[in-house]
């Protein structure tokens, strides 16, 4: 399981993906299905999100473990900025179509 903070043209969101989905490169496809074609995403430690979000993270993680490839954990931009630290960002992933 891998998590990303995604910055798009509208507002940041946090997504969680199955490891196989990341390996297959499907992050752009999943985001395009949500109307997001251009973005910058940073990996973020799922354990940090588990600690910060608690039960909502547990629900998303359960869906991932049951076979879903992609889930949005938080789509409220102000909430995302309150809950994550830029210092915790990992590798960057850019899609500019």
Q: At residue 92, does pLDDT exceed 80?
A: yes
Do the beta carbons of residue 74 and residue 13 sit within 8 Å? yes
8-state DSSP, 84: -
pTM of the model: 0.89
- Condensed to tens digits (0 to 9), the pLDDT of residues 8-50 reads 988 899 999 988 766 667 888 888 988 899 999 999 999 999 9
Question: Could you tell me the maximum CA-CA distance found in the chain, to the nearest angstrom?
Answer: 35
What is the DSSP code string of 10-69? S--EEEEE-HHHHHTT-HHHHHHHTT--EEEEEEE-HHHHHHHH-HHHHHHHHHHHTT-S
Chain mean pLDDT for the chain: 91
In the chain, where are the structural domains located?
Answer: 2-96
């Amino acid at each position: 399981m891998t998590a990303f903070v995604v910055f798009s043209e509208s507002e940041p969101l946090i997504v969680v993906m199955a490891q196989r989905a990341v390996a297959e490169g499907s992050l752009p496809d999943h985001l395009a299905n949500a109307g997001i074609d251009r973005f910058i995403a940073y990996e973020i430690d799922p354990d940090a999100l588990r600690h910060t979000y608690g039960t909502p993270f547990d629900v998303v993680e359960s869906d991932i473990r049951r076979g879903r490839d992609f889930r949005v954990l938080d789509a409220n931009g102000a909430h995302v900025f309150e809950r994550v630290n830029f210092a915790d960002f990992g590798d960057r992933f850019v899609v500019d179509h």
